[in-house]
Amino acid sequence: MPHAKSIRQERARFPGADALSRVSCVLVQPVLTRIVRNVADKHPSLFARLGEHQATTYLIDPVELPFSLLLRPDPEALSLQAVPRDRLPQAGASIRGKFLLLLRLIDAGEDGDAAFFSRGLDIAGNTEAVVRLRNALDDIDGSIVEDCASMFGAPGRLILQQLRKTYGQANARS
């Protein structure tokens, strides 16, 4: 079934969603900071391909998560922040899709153009910024996602495994 429909369904709000979203942001922030530092240290070549869009802010919006992510891939002021959905800031570009699709895109496990053609991926704002980020990430060998999961040892890898399994099943059903 088309991804687009499911993206909208994931958007349904529930009472207390905003509060949950804000609490989640606080909890997850230290992890995000470690992740983004780790990626930047390991893959400095990424920044050259981003060019002028190092200064662009990207809103990465995994539809099932209670929060969105704000990425600023500036090597001088690198940040990845969790932001509550009811307080989404202005961003240069936004990328929206299911969480594991986004993970697979980061790892070149899935093709970004194909995800876009199938409408599983929504992009808005500065299209060139999105294309640059995609190409920069795609030029990285190995798995950023696995690297990050490994930062958290065996529990991290286990969670990732579980996530991928869930995603695989969800895709098989759709």
Partner 1 sequence: MQDRDDVLAELICPAGTPAALRTAVDAGADAVYCGLQNATNARNFPGLNFTPDELAEAVRYAHARGVKVLLALNTYPPAGKVALWREAADLGARLGVDAFIVADMGVADYIARTHPSVRLHLSVQAAASSPEAIRYYCEHFRVKRVVLPRILTIPEIRAIRREIPCEIETFIFGNHGLMVEGRCSLTNYLTGQSTNMDGVCSPASAVEYIRHPDGTMSAMLAGFTIDRFGADDKAGYPTICKGRYQAPHRPEGYYAFEEPISLNLSRLLPDLISAGVHAFKIEGRQRSKSYVRNVVASFRKAVDDIRAGRPANIVDLIALTEGQKETQGAFETKKWR
Confirm if 84 and 22 have CB atoms less than 8 A apart. yes
For partner 1, the closer of residues 154 and 172 by Cβ is 172
- CB-side neighbour CA atoms (13 Å) of 104: 21
22 vs 62 by CB, closer to partner 1: 62
DSSP annotation of 65 reads S
Which amino acid, residue 25? C
Strand, coil or helix: 120:
coil
For the CB of residue 58, give the shortest distance to partner 1 in the complex, in Å: 13
Nearest residue (CB) to partner 1, 22 versus 72: 72
Q: List contacts with partner 1 (CB under 8 A).
A: 2, 4-5, 8, 48-51, 53, 105, 108-114, 116-119, 122-125, 127-128, 130-136, 138-141
CA distance linking residue 59 with residue 66, whole number of Å: 14
Token pair of 18, please?
Answer: 């905003």
Closer to partner 1 at the Cβ: 19 or 48? 48
**Minimum CB distance to partner 1, residue 111 (Å):** 4
